[in-house]
Amino acid sequence: MHVLFVEPAFPKNQREFVRALHSIGARVTGIGESSPEALDSDLKHWLYRYEQVRSVTDERALLDTVRRCQAREWVDLLECTVEAHILPVARVREACSIPGTSERTAFLCRDKPAMKEALRAAGVPCAASTGAESADDARKFAEQHGFPLILKPRAAAGAAGTYKVDDKEQLENAMRECGLDKGNPTAVEEYIEGHEGFYDTLTIDGVVKHDFISHYYPNVLEAMRTRWISPQICVTNRMDVPEYAELKALGQKVIQALGIGTSATHMEWFFGPKGLKFSEIGCRPPGVRVWDIYSAINEFDLYREWAFAVCHKRTEKAPSRAFAGGMIALRPECDGRITRYEGMDRVQDRLGSHIIDCHLPPPGSSTQPVGSGYMGNAWVRLKHRDYDGLRATMNYVGETVKVRAKPN
């Protein structure tokens, strides 16, 4: 099996997909932006060949590279796992007659208004939304649906560039920030009140083979805007409780409606006064290395499961569900430079057996803005055999550890 894998070196966890493919006997040709000399020895060992391109999102350059590989030898698969790569790779895949995620599916998983239009037609409960091409489009939507509303780029990932607006003045400000007043296409959506989480799968020929349910505390938009909060992602191991049956059915329905075949998926959802609502989906793994948590708490290698799925249309092991797991982000008290950590010794003494790993940038390191995400600054990942026990340990970490900093 010869697999072309787009961008094996960046971000850093991309190497895990290459490792997994190599571990099951696939020959992996990497296509990336780094020079061959910049690849570390492990990555060089796992790769069969390597092709450098100026940009992996440059479709012309990517197409030329893939065709050059095909002219040299048979290519079975062309794979990628980063949101920004999904659509250009799908277009090149179709142009080169390589099986995998189609351009239509990739587009629907990337363009939020088109995605929700297709899913509403399939009977999936979604927030009201539109793809605004002008400020007048957004104003008309606000008149029809009222406030609050959400504005974000049509191809946004996570909370990047997302604004919640509560009135006309905030709408005007957000439209300027999004560039909608200058014609930059923007997704405008009804704001859905409720608890937010995500449902991730490994799917083969449109059928869910592995799945995982996670919760945000608090919701992402609040977490990415509020410094004092140490936001958490919590993964349950109570997958079989009846309360999750509706969510699993929703995920399967979305996968079928969008034509997702053999792929990782990452679906965001809300549950509140209006019931369970779909938010968005990507035909790729979640960000912030959540698969590392899934692997640790389920006592298997999810990257290797993915490799078996894409190469051989099967999985190797079942997740154990032995542990719940999660991650807590620890924000510096201000922007500037980290000076010290307080409370980490107490956490390690009390919770050492529960800690999967952690990242503590050394004193003197520059801080990253609150909006940089869950891994922008310090973080701790934990596991516990009981979900409620996990929540308690994560709360203890958030209450105990302080990241001291001083302005530059």
pLDDT digits (tens, 9 = 90+) for 98-123: 999 999 999 999 998 899 999 999 99
Reduced 3-state DSSP string for the chain: CEEEEECCCCCCCHHHHHHHHHHCCCEEEEEECCCHHHCCHHHHHHCCEEEECCCCCCHHHHHHHHHHHHHHCCCCEEECCCHHHHHHHHHHHHHCCCCCCCHHHHHHHHCHHHHHHHHHHCCCCECCEEEECCHHHHHHHHHHHCCCEEEEECCCCCCCCCEEECCHHHHHHHHHHHCHHHCCCEEEEECCCCEEEEEEEEEECCEEEEEEEEEEECCHHHHCCCCCCCCEEEECCCCCCHHHHHHHHHHHHHHHHCCCCCEEEEEEEEEECCEEEEEEEECCCCCCCHHHHHHHHHCCCHHHHHHHHHHHCCCCCCCCCCCEEEEEEECECCCCEEEEEECHHHHHHHHHHHEEEEECCCCCCECCCHHHCCCCCEEEEEEECCHHHHHHHHHHHHHHCEEEEECC
Note the pTM of the prediction, 2 decimals.
0.93
Tens of pLDDT, residues 119-130 = 999 999 998 888
Q: pLDDT tens across 63-77, in order?
A: 999 999 999 999 999
Name the pLDDT band for 60 (thresholds 50, 70, 90).
Answer: very high
Specify whether the backbone of 47 is left (phi greater than 0), alpha (psi in -120 to 50) or beta.
Answer: beta
Statement: residue 159 has pLDDT above 80 = no
Q: What are the angstrom distances between the C-alpha of 159 and each of 45, 139, 263?
A: 36, 22, 23
pLDDT of amino acid 183: 81
Distance from the Cα of residue 189 to its chain's centroid: 20
What are the C-alpha distances in Å from 140 to residues 59, 132, 152, 405?
Answer: 36, 10, 17, 45
Residue 184: pLDDT band (50, 70, 90) is confident
What gap in Å lies between CA 404 and CA 408, rounded to an integer? 13
Question: Going from the N-terminus, what domains does the chain have, and what CATH number goes with each?
Answer: 2-100 (3.40.50.20), 128-190 (3.30.1490.20), 323-408 (3.30.470.20)
Where do we find the tokens 């659509």?
87
Q: Is the pLDDT of residue 235 over 60?
A: yes
Q: Output 159 or 179, whichever has higher pLDDT.
A: 179
Kindly indicate the confidence band of residue 158, based on its pLDDT and cuts at 50, 70 and 90.
low
pLDDT for the residue numbered 213: 98
Reply yes or no on whether the pLDDT at 304 is more than 90. yes
Q: What are phi and psi for residue 211, nearest 5 degrees?
A: -145, 160
pLDDT at 393: 98
How many other CB atoms sit within 10 Å of the CB of residue 134? Answer: 16
Assess contact for 398 and 331: CB atoms under 8 A: no
Mean predicted confidence (pLDDT) in 20-37: 98
| Residue 272 pLDDT grade (very low, low, confident, very high; cuts 50, 70, 90) | very high
pLDDT at 182: 83
pLDDT at residue 157 above 60? Answer: no
* Whether residue 19 has pLDDT greater than 60: yes
Per-residue pLDDT band at 62 (split at 50, 70, 90):
very high
Q: What percent of the chain has pLDDT over 70?
A: 99
Is residue 156 very low, low, confident or very high in pLDDT (cuts 50, 70, 90)?
Answer: low
C-alpha gyration radius of the chain: 22
* Mean pLDDT, all residues of the chain: 95
